Amino acid sequence: MDLLAVLSGFAVGAIVGMTGVGGGSLMTPLLMGVFKLHPAVAIGTDLWFAALTKSGGSWAHHRHGHVQYRVAALLMAGSLPATLATVGALHWSGLSAGWSSTLTMTLGIALLLTAVSVAYRRLWNRLGLRLERWLPERRKAALTVAAGVLLGVLVTLSSIGAGAIGATLLLLLYPRLPAQQIVGTDIAHAVPLTLVAGIGHAFLGHVDWGLLVALLAGSLPGIWLGARLTRTLPERFVRGVLCASLVGAGVKVLS
């Protein structure tokens, strides 16, 4: 088993444990920059990494009653068909050079969007409360499905968006949901979304299974350690480091 892969999984797992976000946002650039994977293979491998590491979190939030299943179902009504359509487009196009450029550009944009989502989390909640006067309850279902479509395309093309960006969209649409339910619903939706997208990429041959096993072996103790470190490290410091890393990775991918 590749020691570098185990250590990389450990480092990313620790960041996820400390912040709750950043797994896909940091793993895909890492797979491309350090392990020199093709963008499509990096994205496919990271989708499986995300689906498997988030499954335990999803079950924990379910047990504590933190999942709004109606909202998660509306998101899936948009995201899963969008994911299948995007995988179909990748398949029928044969992943040409144009698609490779699209994947790289989408990844860079998603990294920058994630950095903004993490940095201004409280702002999105306040903005959602202000939008309520123009957003009657009857329109929220359609907008939630539309948000799912956006996430489905974004996650399939970049492996990023199911975490921080998904939570930001929920904050804008459902600002009065408790924070635990925002997180729980977001993770409950992220698991089937990343799994379906991951299966699609596996069908296209875009997964490095040996590397995935090594990453998972390192990530589990990393998540445990990161969760314990949250008690000692200031949240603002941790999120600042994460945002700086995301911006740096996004700029590097786009350059």
Q: Read off the pLDDT of residues 59-75 as tens digits, 9 standing for 90 and up.
A: 877 888 889 999 999 99
Residue 59 corresponds to which amino acid?
W
Q: CA-based diameter of the chain, in Å?
A: 55
* 226 pLDDT higher than 90: no
Assign 3-class secondary structure to the chain.
CCHHHHHHHHHHHHHHHHHCCCHHHHHHHHHHHCCCCCHHHHHHHHHHHHHHHHHHHHHHHHHCCCCCHHHHHHHHHHHHHHHHHHHHHHHHHCCCHHHHHHHHHHHHHHHHHHHHHHHCHHHHHHHHHHHHHHCCHHHHHHHHHHHHHHHHHHHHHHCCCCCHHHHHHHHHHCCCCCHHHHHHHHHHHHHHHHHHHHHHHHHCCCCCHHHHHHHHHHHHHHHHHHHHHCCCCCHHHHHHHHHHHHHHHHHHHHC
- Asked if pLDDT for residue 203 goes beyond 60, the answer is yes
Average pLDDT of the chain, as a whole number: 84
pLDDT class of 99 with cuts at 50, 70, 90: low
Please give the model's pTM, rounded to 2 decimal places: 0.84
Q: Burial of 225 by CB count in 10 Å (0-12 exposed, 13-18 middle, 19+ buried)?
A: middle
* pLDDT (tens digit per residue) in 149-168: 999 999 998 888 887 888 88
Residue 97 in this model has a pLDDT that exceeds 60: no
Q: What mean pLDDT is predicted for residues 121-137?
A: 80
Domain of residue 230 covers 3-254
Q: How many domains does the chain have?
A: 1
pLDDT value for 235: 64
